[in-house]
Structure 1
Amino acid sequence: MKSAIKNCSIPGLVISIIASIAACFGIGMVFFDNVAFALCTVPFAAYLVLKYIKHQNARYKRLMLERFRLFIGYLNASLQGTAKPVEKAFSEAVDEMRQIYSEKDIFLRHMIIIQKTLSNNMSRKIEAEFYAFAVGTGISDIIDFAGVLVSCKNTNTSAISKVIELVDELIGEKLNTQMDFRAMVQENAMVFNIMSLMPTAFIAFFNATMQDYLSPLYSGKGRIVMIAGLAFNIASYIIGNKFIERYDEE
């Protein structure tokens, strides 16, 4: 959880917490028209905040993988048809990315740190530095590449160029497939979110236009109906999001 939270900006996380609490309280007021009952819905805000953290973590991993693919492309181009060491090609790839992205870019920042570490201390090995970075990202594709890089540097340095070329091709295909699939998932997710809000929207509309029509639901046995309705709505939202999150992460 700590590694997921660190991928969220503090202002974004604070806004998410405040917005989630306000949304839950607002929905509670729509369903119950009672502050005490509405406050009982506030704990559900924890689920919404957790959902935000997961979304930001997934976004971070996608961004890192996209930057990694671009970096591998530059690394591959630098090694093509040359016998230069991978350390020099690495440095050239970092310089190429500097022309496109700010040094504050989350991926480039790590690459610059590795570049400076290698230039300031010749005893440090690129494969060890990159592997430490890869493990820190928690992204399997980057970790796998780093592991292969370590093996190649220790056994067969001539294979590094071929490995990088293959990784460049595979990551490119994976990102293209994920992009198409994610577009479909996000479209369905938007429809699902709209449908999830419809019960609350209808109740709010009837409250604003025909308050007497719903007044029996705000007292006596009517509250049981409202509690059951809200519980069903929340359960449907959680179950639906489980499916969306599972497919969005693939």
Structure 2
Amino acid sequence: MRSVIIALVCGAAAYAAYLVVVRLNGKIALANVPRIGAKRPRQAENPGEREADAGDYGRYSMSAKQRAFACAAAGAVLFAIGYLFYQNVAICAVLSLGGLYYPRARRRQLIRKRKDELGRQFKHALYSLSTALSAGRSVENAFAEAGNDLRLLYPDRTADMLRELDRINRLTENGEPIERSLLDFGRRSGIADVQQFAEAFAACKRTGGDLVEVMRRTSNMIGEKMEIEQDISVLVAQKRFEAKALGLIPFVIVAFLAFSSPDYMAPLYGGAGHLVMTAALAVLVASQWLARKIMDIGT
């Protein structure tokens, strides 16, 4: 009973640490990013800020403090799971070493979260551009108007799309072709919709087509596509929660049996029982991986 209580306490502490790390890293990834195009300081505060200065949304370098928190949280979770399934400190210590690989997965999560937020902001910018162009404004004035509209939607000036529009408008005022700025933004964003919009805009500028009509149709098509993707994401959100709940139930059952019937579970914590628990743990991990792959639509 004592070992089960220790395992449950470790699991609760690990889960609490995981929530703290997720909230901290999420805020840093979406908000604590230096202004793109601004004068670079002599020495960045951490590697994550140095990567953000480059404006590449496909890269993010975590600071030493972030990596330490992520490794500690993942290691604690793995240690608790190992103690629940094996009740062997040596095996738990070996399993906890897997937490060293968690920062890579966390970095991918932060990059994806930032791109998703950028895509939503880009959709709002497209609607503003389409409205301004339909009202007879020039392309340059339409981008300036889009920046003003986004300031009303996102009072926080650290919004990525707001900084990108400011950068495009600033380069345009300095004589930089607007299509070149858009193509650069599409390349750095790594988002297919942004790249397609930039390429359509550049092609229309080169061929001398009806820029207003092309931008209006392109904006409407991309906006409708993003709305469909968001609707699908909302529909799948409930299934994702159910998959996480189903993945947690086996661990609760094992903890309940170990607490209520320690004699019944004793054969599983020694000899050939380790093989049975290892096979069960492997099946649980494989099922969670498969559920995540099925739910990750569009990735």
- Shift in Å at residue 29 of structure 1? 0.7
- Within 2, Cα distance between the matches of 1:213 and 1:32? 14
In the alignment, what sits opposite 1:23? Answer: 77
Which of residues 81, 84, 87 in structure 2 aligns to 1:33?
Answer: 87
1:103/1:241 Cα in 2 relative to 1: closer, same or farther (>3 Å)?
Answer: same
Report the AA paired with residue 66 of structure 1: R
- Shift in Å at residue 104 of structure 1? 0.8
1:14/1:181 Cα in 2 relative to 1: closer, same or farther (>3 Å)?
Answer: farther
Q: TM-score, normalised by structure 2?
A: 0.73
1:54/1:44 Cα in 2 relative to 1: closer, same or farther (>3 Å)?
Answer: same
User: Is the deviation greater in 176-185 or in 133-142?
Assistant: 176-185
- Shift in Å at residue 147 of structure 1? 0.7
Q: What per-residue deviation string (whole Å, max 9, x for no partner) do you get for residues 199-236 of structure 1?
A: 21111122222222211111111111111111121122
Q: What per-residue deviation string (whole Å, max 9, x for no partner) do you get for residues 78-129 of structure 1?
A: 11142x431122112112212321221111112112212222x12x111101
User: Structure 2 matches for 1:128-139, cutoff 5 A?
Assistant: 128-139=180-191
- Within 2, Cα distance between the matches of 1:172 and 1:5? 26
1:10/1:160 Cα in 2 relative to 1: closer, same or farther (>3 Å)?
Answer: farther
User: Structure 2 matches for 1:198-213, cutoff 5 A?
Assistant: 198-213=249-264
- Name the structure where helix makes up a greater proportion of residues: 1
- Within 2, Cα distance between the matches of 1:184 and 1:7? 32
- Shift in Å at residue 58 of structure 1? 3.0
In the alignment, what sits opposite 2:277? Answer: 226
In the alignment, what sits opposite 2:290? Answer: 239
Q: Is the CA contact (8 Å cut-off) linking 1:7 and 1:56 kept in structure 2?
A: no
Q: Secondary structure at the match of 1:220?
A: coil
In the alignment, does 2:122 pair up with 1:58?
no
In the alignment, what sits opposite 2:145? Answer: 92
What stretches of structure 2 of length at least 5 have no aligned partner?
Answer: 1-55
The total of aligned residue pairs comes to 243
Report the AA paired with residue 211 of structure 1: P
In the alignment, does 2:134 pair up with 1:80?
yes
In the alignment, what sits opposite 2:24? Answer: none
Report the AA paired with residue 94 of structure 1: G
- Within 2, Cα distance between the matches of 1:90 and 1:244? 36
- Within 2, Cα distance between the matches of 1:99 and 1:240? 39
1:131/1:87 Cα in 2 relative to 1: closer, same or farther (>3 Å)?
Answer: same
Q: What per-residue deviation string (whole Å, max 9, x for no partner) do you get for residues 8-58 of structure 1?
A: 898776544432221111111100001111233235446755554444333
- Within 1, Cα distance between the matches of 2:86 and 2:194? 50
1:5/1:37 Cα in 2 relative to 1: closer, same or farther (>3 Å)?
Answer: farther
- Shift in Å at residue 144 of structure 1? 0.8
Report the AA paired with residue 239 of structure 1: L
- Within 1, Cα distance between the matches of 2:63 and 2:187? 21
- Within 2, Cα distance between the matches of 1:244 and 1:227? 26
In the alignment, what sits opposite 2:169? Answer: 115
1:110/1:12 Cα in 2 relative to 1: closer, same or farther (>3 Å)?
Answer: farther
Q: CA RMSD of the aligned region, Å?
A: 2.5
What stretches of structure 1 of length at least 5 have no aligned partner?
Answer: none
1:42/1:220 Cα in 2 relative to 1: closer, same or farther (>3 Å)?
Answer: same
Q: TM-score, normalised by structure 1?
A: 0.86
1:108/1:57 Cα in 2 relative to 1: closer, same or farther (>3 Å)?
Answer: same
- Shift in Å at residue 238 of structure 1? 1.7
1:174/1:153 Cα in 2 relative to 1: closer, same or farther (>3 Å)?
Answer: same
Q: Is the CA contact (8 Å cut-off) linking 2:125 and 2:146 kept in structure 1?
A: yes
- Within 1, Cα distance between the matches of 2:275 and 2:85? 11
Report the AA paired with residue 148 of structure 1: A
1:5/1:216 Cα in 2 relative to 1: closer, same or farther (>3 Å)?
Answer: farther
- Within 2, Cα distance between the matches of 1:59 and 1:7? 15
Q: Secondary structure at the match of 2:210?
A: helix
- Within 2, Cα distance between the matches of 1:17 and 1:186? 27
